[in-house]
Amino acid sequence: MDRIQQMEVFIQVMESGSFTKAADALNMPRSTISTVIQTLENRLGVQLLHRTTRQLTATQDGMRYLETANTLIQQFNATERMFQSEPHQIQGRLRIDMPSRIARRIVIPALPEFLSLYPQLNIELSMKDRMVDLVADGVDCVIRVGELSDSELICQKLGDLEVIHCASPGYLEAFGIPESIDDLSHHHLIHYAIQMPAQPANLAYQTDGECLSVPMQSRITVDNAEAYIASALAGMGIIEIPKYDVQHLLENNTLREILPDSKPGPLPLSFLYPSRKNLSLRVDVFRAWISQLLATTCFNQA
């Protein structure tokens, strides 16, 4: 019996509460169930179950293994369903929320290809640069940039985004090109804030792997990514932004990277959804597609 089957047997034992009931559910002899659990414990080198004549309960290691096994089995089944299901069987509405720049520059141009694969699927796409309540707003899944606070959402990390400092040639001509963090005292930062009124402006950077920040003057504060980049193009100051988002502006020299040796720390890019139980196939296929799309467009920018 392979490891996937061993996991399935263990999960069934925990759900049934006894070897006998698990054997009935799996249509196996009770002795086989007992042998599988013993083999699993021997291979892992831990005791997964407390056994008495009247009760069967998981040890602490058993609870940890159960959580991991459930996740792996669900991911395994979801992966198989992606290839076993006909595209026309995946239908209905999929509500997604993601940052506006990712939606406009990367996802929307590629959506026709995704929708052609699943002709019965309809997309409702909202583009907010702030957190939404998935359950209250009826959203199936979201993409988020940055560190996440603890929550009951299931999170799949897609990767880390390189972040840089940049400014327009006109701004740098007027204020000079800073060669180090110490040169920033006469410069302005375009302040990005999720909520207004905003906290004081600080520029983030790393030195020897340590994340630091320095207070900055700021004459404009925005709460939208489009306005953030537009303010930089207008010459109003320095911005710190994922490199993929301004790669085209760097290439045509409408923005210039500065302080390359003092970049901010990378930002995680994550895919979140409310629950791993009974995850819809719509979310599964979109998660697989968007993971591949973002991997080829957002990471490892030259």
Same domain, 282 and 154: yes
Domain boundaries, position 99: 87-161+267-297
The CB-side HSE value for 282 (13 A sphere, CA atoms) comes to 18
Maximum C-alpha span of the chain: 82
Residue 228, in any domain of the structure: yes
Mean pLDDT of 190-194: 89
Which pLDDT belongs to residue 279? 65
Please, what is the average pLDDT of the chain? 86
Same domain, 51 and 65: yes
Same domain, 152 and 192: no
Same domain, 135 and 189: no
pLDDT bracket for residue 302 (50, 70, 90): very low
Dist CA 81 CA 87 (whole Å): 11
Q: Which residues contact 30 (CB under 8 A, 6 or more apart)?
A: 19, 20, 23
To which H or E segment does residue 239 belong? strand 239-242
Q: Residue 198 CB: number of other CB atoms within 10 A?
A: 14
- Tell which of 50, 69, 84 closes a domain: 84
Contacts 24+ apart (CB under 8 A), 132-135: 132/97, 134/272, 134/273, 134/274, 135/274
Q: Does the pLDDT value for residue 129 go beyond 80? A: no
**What value does the CA radius of gyration of the chain take, rounded to a whole number of Å?**
25
Query: Which of 6-10, 27-31, 70-74 is least confident?
Result: 70-74
Percent of the chain with pLDDT over 90: 39
For residue 194, what is the domain's CATH number?
3.40.190.10
Which pLDDT belongs to residue 135? 66
Which tens digits make up the pLDDT trace of 38-85?
998 899 999 998 887 677 888 888 888 988 888 788 777 666 665 555
Same domain, 34 and 171: no
Residue 302, in any domain of the structure: no
To which H or E segment does residue 204 belong? strand 202-207
pTM higher than 0.85:
no
Residues 87, 118: contact at Cβ < 8 Å?
yes
Nearest Cα neighbor of 235 from 249, 248, 260, 254 is 254
